[in-house]
Chain A
Amino acid sequence: MPNILVIDDDDIMLKAIKNILNKDGFNVVTATDGKEAFDLLDHTIFDIVITDLMLPHANGLEVVGRLRHNQGNRNVGIIVVSSVGNEETITEAFRLGADDYLKKPIMAGELLMRIRKLIANKNSKTQFVTKKK
């Protein structure tokens, strides 16, 4: 079962995404701020990280940047989900290594589709199976 980490400071969004993704057979862990996310990332290997950009403790760009330098989670798929529509920020997110960007309000179906696509891409590239430590 693929592992997904969702980082957002809006608890409603967290619960909703968790529910939707659980139904489709994903294992979802949530974090409400940057610090919590970093703690989780240190101990767990994820397949996909979905992050907001405006977060307490560390902004989403920092999360993206750190993930790409993190041994265990270097190959994780990163989807940025944010209400920020500012083009510079979006470019920056991609430059730092985000794989995809969705603007809030999002379409649930689209999010699911992109997650599946990312996982499929990843599996075709890498052979080893990720698992929880």
Chain B
Amino acid sequence: MKVIIDFFSRGTFWDVLGIFFQYAVFLYGTSLLIAYGVLAFLSLGSIRRYMKKNANADYNIIIESPLAPGISVIAPAFNEGVTIISNVRSLLTFNYPKFEVIIINDGSTDDTLEKLVSEFELVQVDYAYREKLLSKPVKRIFKSTNPAYDKLVVIDKINGKSKADASNAGINVAIYDYFLCTDVDCILDKDTLIKLIKPFMDAETSTVREVNGDMQIQEDYKRVIACGATLRMVNSCDVDEGLMIRVRPPRRILPRFQEMEYIRAFVLGKMGWDRINSVPNVSGGLGMFDKDIAIKAGGYDSLSLAEDMDLITRMGAFMTDNNKKYSVKYVPITLCWTEGPTTLKVFGRQRTRWGRGLAQLMSTHRKILFSPRYGRMGLIVFPYHFFYELLAPIIEFLGILFYIYLILTQQINWPYAIILIVFVYTYSVMITTIALLWDQITFKYYKTWGETIGLCLMAFLEPFIYHPLIVFFALKGYFNFIIGKKHTWGNMQRQGFSQPKRRTAVKAG
């Protein structure tokens, strides 16, 4: 009541605006926190469902089965000469009966290709290459003369300066119905293919209705178009020739924060979305896709800075445009370990790119936002990303400015302000801790309790150290997006290509 009375008795314009803003920010903040809370619940349901469903699944059956669908593993490589041999060797040892490994040498300037050729006894083959998806020209295609490596295909192409471009070339060569997109320097679990193909094979197939004694096929099944799994940092893990020996949270502080952030984003975010069939994105580090749909949707966009989410969005839009039901699945187990940036410079470049990518994505696919035609994607996924991912850094930044204004003009109600800050702080610590707890349900990745608790404690530091960085880099990304758009409209392509890519950024660290 007091607030309202004050509002009328004082009543200057700035006060009105101030109070309005205060309430708007409070409402926004509360709804965001509620959304996180809801996601936490959904995610628990989703994880438990997965665990129960697969507790007794005999994954070995698929290894022996002639009915196992084929999978093409696509991994672009750019100047990976140092590690390429052990990494490819590791990719060739998946537990799976029917797969091929397609390595795309994306115009490396080092000895990546030479090493591959001599180690795997490769020869150039006459290959009838057909460009279904756009990419820079493919120069040569190699196969091994050693039958032990008959699963390996190596593509040598002109550098397209993006992972998307290289992946497209790989998809063009892929012979199987599903493809797995990954990075050649990621450490993958041996059972990755089995675990990721299962959700595709668990999809409800069409049911039959009898009409006038005729067999009538109703096409009302949900086709799984993509499936992802959680990622973690490889930084302090023990890896032996591409094989994960021992998982540890990173020792250095920056990747350590990232590990925590990834767990929260995957376990709480993706798994929560999975429960209500609204997974927004399959991460670029590891994802399996239905090749047919991916090609029809146009494959990866080499101009996009968020090519992974862009692909999922277009695949989803394609399905909706053709009146077909679909779903994107996530499995709550970590199958892929990736190198997190360790220096602020590289990290900043990565996050600025993500920020820019998100802004670009939202603007490219703006017709989907709030469009009931696109179902969950238009009414849940996009609005969520618009308000709580895209706008969050902006609102947060404005909020801080407003606080500073209040402090300077001595209008601030300190006790209330502190209560609100403590509230947001404790809530964020709670959400992160819950995410780490859910993560423990699926699999105990860390060997000691010290490691686990050590990671949990990062949640207390996050709001002071890590979070401001993320907000700053996201804003920088948005800024670049607006500037980039204005100044290089006619030359978007060059601008896009000259951006440091996430993959190279990861390598540099």
Contacts and interface: CB of A to CB of B under 8 A. Distances in A.
Interface of A: 33-35, 54-59, 61-62, 64-65, 83-86, 89, 92, 95-96
B10 to A, nearest CB: 72
Given A56-B190, A83-B60, A65 B146 contact: yes
| The 8 residue pairs across chains A and B that have the minimum distance between CB atoms | A65-B148, A62-B148, A61-B148, A85-B64, A54-B95, A86-B97, A83-B64, A59-B93
B147 A92 contact: yes
A55 B146 CA distance: 18
Contact of B93 (A57, A65, A86, A95): A57
Interface string B158-193: 000000000000000000000000000000001000
A83 B93 CA distance: 16
B92 interface: yes
Contacts of A64: 148
Given A54-B95, A62-B148, A35 B241 contact: yes
A129 to B, nearest CB: 31
A84 B65 CA distance: 8
B89 interface: yes
B95 A57 contact: no
Interface residues of B, number: 21
Given A35-B241, A95-B147, A83 B97 contact: no
A86 B241 CA distance: 28
Contacts of A84: 63-64, 97
Nearest to B66: A86
Contacts of A95: 147
Contact of A55 (B64, B93, B241): B93
Given A54-B93, A85-B66, 17 more contacts: A34-B93, A35-B240, A35-B241, A54-B63, A55-B93, A56-B190, A56-B243, A58-B93, A59-B93, A65-B146, A65-B147, A84-B63, A84-B64, A85-B65, A86-B66, A92-B147, A95-B147
Contacts of A58: 89, 93
B219 interface: no
Interface of B: 60, 63-66, 89-90, 92-93, 95, 97-98, 146-150, 190, 240-241, 243
Contacts of B98: 86
Which of B63, B66, B92 gathers most chain A CB within 10 Å?
Answer: B63
A56 B90 CA distance: 8
A24 B93 CA distance: 33
Which of B65, B95, B150 gathers most chain A CB within 10 Å?
Answer: B95
Nearest to B243: A56
Contact of B147 (A34, A55, A56, A61): A61
B97 A89 contact: yes
14 contacts: A33-B243, A34-B93, A54-B63, A54-B93, A54-B95, A57-B90, A57-B93, A57-B241, A57-B243, A59-B92, A59-B148, A61-B148, A65-B147, A95-B147
Contact of B150 (A33, A34, A92): A92
Nearest to B92: A59
Contacts of A35: 240-241
A116 B115 CA distance: 42
A48 to B, nearest CB: 20
Which of B66, B147, B240, B241 gathers most chain A CB within 10 Å?
Answer: B147
Contacts of B243: 33, 56-57
A56 B241 CA distance: 10
Nearest to A86: B97
Nearest to A61: B148
A65 to B, nearest CB: 4
Nearest to B146: A65
Contacts of B240: 35
B89 A83 contact: no
B63 A56 contact: no
A89 to B, nearest CB: 7
Contacts of A89: 97
Nearest to A66: B148
Nearest to A63: B148
A36 B97 CA distance: 23
A88 to B, nearest CB: 9
B175 to A, nearest CB: 14
A120 to B, nearest CB: 29
A62 B151 CA distance: 12
A125 B65 CA distance: 38
B79 to A, nearest CB: 25
A107 B92 CA distance: 30
A95 B145 CA distance: 13
B504 to A, nearest CB: 28
A54 B147 CA distance: 16
Contacts of A65: 146-148
A79 to B, nearest CB: 17
A96 B147 contact: yes
